[in-house]
Amino acid sequence: LGINQFDVSSRAPLKENCSRKLSDINLFENVVDIFNVIDYNNYDEGDIEQLENNNYETRLRNEWKQLENDENIDWLTITLKTYESLVGKNSEATPDTETKHRRWCNIVEALHYFRKAKNEEHQAGLQFFLDALKDKRKERDIEDLNLEEEKAWNHLKMAKVKEDNEWRYYQLLTLKYWKQAENAESARNNTQ
């Protein structure tokens, strides 16, 4: 998935990615403000850049890639901001931070697999749409979408944006409740 450093195919690389100290990844310098991410509720068709190409398939794939990149930035920003709030500016390794770190890696891995399934479903929808267009154009040499096809394409993009927004909300709630559980666990451990 491109910029997503948590997109791994096995647990070992994820643990390796998660094992770096906060100071090693310059998190405070590199993460964009979480409130600066895309507001999918106010996303309309005009916000999706219409890329002009000679080939309609290339144009559609480029528009889809733009939507995927927007969603990847959200995923990464939310994930890293959660980690930043978990460890704060302290990158010291203590038993408590190591335990939180390990649990954080586990929750990120679980969310990664859920997100991967969602994205594979979106890719299948895109491929189905493109295949249907190819079948329709076998007899004719048409280089762009007609009004009906453009409307269907915009509907498919908006459905993806809506599902990405639902996913973002799910991710935020999951990480919020996970952080609350971690804070409660830390409070219990500090009173013992």
Q: 6 in a domain, yes or no?
A: no
**How distant is the alpha carbon of residue 159 from its chain centre?**
16
The predicted-structure confidence for 102-157, as pLDDT tens digits, reads as follows 888 999 999 999 999 999 999 999 999 999 988 888 777 777 788 999 999 999 99
More confident residue, 110 or 40: 110
CA dihedral of 1, 124, 167, 49, whole degrees rounded to 10:
70
Number of domains forming the structure of the chain = 1
Q: 3 in a domain, yes or no?
A: no
Q: 174 in a domain, yes or no?
A: yes
Alpha carbons 114 and 129: distance in angstroms, whole number: 23
Q: 97 in a domain, yes or no?
A: yes
* Domain range for 104: 11-191
Q: 28 in a domain, yes or no?
A: yes
More confident residue, 163 or 143: 163
Alpha carbons 22 and 127: distance in angstroms, whole number: 39
Q: 182 in a domain, yes or no?
A: yes
The predicted-structure confidence for 65-86, as pLDDT tens digits, reads as follows 999 999 999 999 998 888 888 7
Mean pLDDT of 7-28: 39
Q: Which residues of 42-56 are buried (b: 16+ CB within 10 A; e: fewer)?
A: ebeeeebeeeeeeeb
Alpha carbons 28 and 51: distance in angstroms, whole number: 34
